[in-house]
Amino acid sequence: MKKIGLLTREKISQEIQEGLSKSQACVFISFAKTGAFPVNRMRNSLKSANARLFVAKNTLLAKVFKDKGTQDISGLIEGQTGVVFAFDKDVVAACKVLVDFSKENENLKVRGAFLNEKKISAEQLRELVKLPPKEVLIGMVVSSFAAPITGFMSTLNQVVRQFMWTLEEIKKKKG
């Protein structure tokens, strides 16, 4: 019969592995000296962004990430560490919650992330959050594709209008 501590560690490892396999990104945060109320408020904000905060021992996190074949996370897990798993395709929403929350609470620090198996530093994550939402970016791309066609149509319209104005002026002079 296994001991309770070993069973607990196995259960936590399974939950971390499950979160890692289902998530699009995982963000490492440090929340030392942050109160329970702000952390719970952050958890609720993350839930609305389809993300989940998970806290475990650093050795357990390192073991699970090493077993999963992820890159070295030793620089990301120091002190009290939390891992935020973003399950939605729009991972920027979860990252935005974390960056905004870290601006409000100086004790919470974003250390880095893994986005689609690529390691991202905290500075790169802050730059990612500054980008406009996905819908706005798609609109910008579509408008840049449509701009030459719109300009061409406007030019053709202008030729027809000038021809009509010329005919109208001729009609007024003869009429």
pLDDT at 70: 64
Statement to judge: residues 115 and 40 lie in one domain = yes
Mean pLDDT of 78-103: 83
Q: Give CA–CA dist 56/174, Å, rounded.
A: 91
Statement to judge: residues 74 and 155 lie in one domain = no
Statement to judge: residues 105 and 170 lie in one domain = no
Statement to judge: residues 124 and 39 lie in one domain = yes
Statement to judge: residues 152 and 117 lie in one domain = no
pLDDT at 71: 63
Statement to judge: residues 83 and 138 lie in one domain = no
Statement to judge: residues 8 and 59 lie in one domain = yes
Q: Give CA–CA dist 64/62, Å, rounded.
A: 6
Mean pLDDT of the chain: 83
Q: Could you tell me the residue range of the domain that residue 164 belongs to?
A: 132-175
C-alpha distances out from residue 142 to 19, 133, 135, 153, Å: 35, 15, 11, 17
Statement to judge: residues 113 and 151 lie in one domain = no
Our count of domains for the chain comes to 2
pLDDT at 26: 86
Residue 72 has pLDDT above 80, yes or no: no
pLDDT above 90 coverage of the chain, percent: 0
CA dihedral 96, 98, 101, 105 (to 10 degrees): -140
Statement to judge: residues 60 and 112 lie in one domain = yes
Q: Which two three-digit tokens encode residue 37?
A: 């109320």
